[in-house]
């Protein structure tokens, strides 16, 4: 479903390489965790998938589509196939939880009726139906991240990309977020997640890709956090 073909990313000064000859693929319905130290290239990898960053060499494919050859005007359409969750939540501060989730559907051109049906469902899935009309600054970190997840899944994307989704959360909120991501994966959505958190990896018991210095150093089918 996602295929990295010998991808390298060099920055302008030519010294630092964020990614070096990375090749791997992700099958549909997989739950892949990417682990590694800060600066190992995890986030760069995810940015390649959502076409936020360009590789210096190599190609990234979504099914048979070369992601970095998508014309700029078509990029929004491509991004709608992917749900994104970030460490810093990236919610729209002037919109309520409900509106944040609804925005993703509006941007997608969904009808008002679909929005009225699906947004409450998505918020219910992350157990936030009672906070639908709160603004982000009125929510805790865990609640914000759950809103972000609801937004990511509401358009029923093929893939969820989660960049350190538990990075800013306490252990209980971390547990909840991981449970939700597993539930989404069980419902058939591919999940690619980066994390620092050993507990999270050990709990999920799925494929783990370990990165170091821009390279993939391990790729285990049911991995443990080894660093």
Partner 1 sequence: MLTGLRRVVKAGFVGFWRNAYVSLASIFVLTVALFVIGATMFLDQLLATSLNTLQSKVDINVYFVPDAPEERIDAIRNAVAALPDVSLVTYTTREEALQQYRDRRQGDEISLQALAELDENPLGANIAIQAQETSQYENIARFLDEQRALEEPQAPVIDVINYAQNKDSIDTLTGIINATERASWIVMGILLIASILITFNTIRLAIYTSREEIAIMRLVGASNMFIRGPFMLQGIMYGFIAGLLALLLFYPLLIWLGPRTETFFEINLFTYYVQNFGDIFGILIGAGVVLGLVSSTLAVARYLRT
Query: Is the distance from CB of 125 to CB of 148 less than 8 angstroms?
Result: no
Q: Does 146 interact with partner 1 (rule: CB under 8 A)?
A: no
| 215 binds partner 1, rule: CB under 8 A | no
- For partner 1, the closer of residues 91 and 201 by Cβ is 91
124-146 burial, b for 16+ CB within 10 Å, e for fewer?
Answer: ebbebeebbebbbeebebbbbbb
To partner 1, the closest distance from the beta carbon of 218 in angstroms equals 29
| Shorter beta-carbon distance to partner 1: residue 57 or 94 | 94
Binder of partner 1 out of 8, 20, 56, 108 (CB under 8 A): 108
Q: Does 186 bind partner 1 (CB under 8 A)?
A: no
Contact 52, 88 (CB under 8 A): no
For position 144 contacting partner 1 by CB under 8 A, the verdict is: no
Q: How far apart are CA 96 and CA 135, in angstroms?
A: 4
Applying CB under 8 A, among 29, 59, 79, 218 the residue interacting with partner 1 is: 79
Residue 95 has which token pair? 């919109």
In this structure, are residues 220 and 208 in contact, taking their beta carbons and an 8 Å threshold? yes
To partner 1, the closest distance from the beta carbon of 210 in angstroms equals: 26
> How far is Cα 26 from Cα 110, in angstroms, rounded to an integer?
29
| Identity of the residue, 14 or 109, whose beta carbon is nearer to partner 1 in the bound complex | 109
Alpha carbons 225 and 63: distance in angstroms, whole number: 29
Q: Does 106 bind partner 1 (CB under 8 A)?
A: yes
Smallest gap from residue 217 Cβ to partner 1 (A): 29
Contact 3, 25 (CB under 8 A): yes
Site residues for partner 1, 46-75, by CB under 8 A, read 50, 52, 72-73, 75
**Residue 204, helix vs strand vs coil:** helix
Binding site for partner 1 (CB under 8 A): 50, 52, 72-73, 75-80, 82, 84, 90-94, 103-104, 106-109, 111-112, 151, 155
């Amino acid at each position: 479903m996602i295929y990295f073909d010998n991808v390298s990313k060099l920055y302008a000064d030519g010294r630092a390489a964020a990614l070096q000859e990375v090749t791997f693929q992700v099958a549909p319905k997989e739950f892949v965790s990417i682990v590694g130290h800060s600066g190992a290239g995890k986030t760069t990898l995810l940015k390649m998938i959502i076409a936020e960053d360009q590789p210096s060499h190599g190609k990234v494919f979504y099914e048979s589509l070369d992601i970095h050859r998508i014309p700029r005007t078509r990029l929004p359409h491509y991004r709608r196939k992917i749900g994104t969750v970030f460490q810093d939540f990236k919610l729209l501060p002037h919109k309520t939880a409900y509106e944040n989730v609804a925005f993703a559907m509006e941007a997608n051109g969904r009808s008002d009726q679909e929005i009225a049906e699906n947004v409450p469902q998505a918020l219910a899935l992350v157990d936030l139906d009672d906070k639908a009309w709160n603004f982000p600054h009125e929510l805790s970190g865990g609640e914000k991240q759950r809103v972000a997840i609801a937004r990511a899944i509401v358009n029923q994307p093929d893939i969820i990309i989660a960049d350190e989704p538990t990075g800013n959360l306490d252990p209980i909120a971390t547990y909840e977020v991981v449970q939700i991501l597993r539930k989404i994966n069980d419902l058939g959505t591919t999940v690619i997640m980066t994390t620092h958190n050993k507990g999270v990896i050990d709990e999920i018991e799925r494929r783990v890709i370990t990165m170091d210095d821009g390279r993939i150093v391990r790729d285990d089918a049911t991995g443990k956090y080894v660093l």
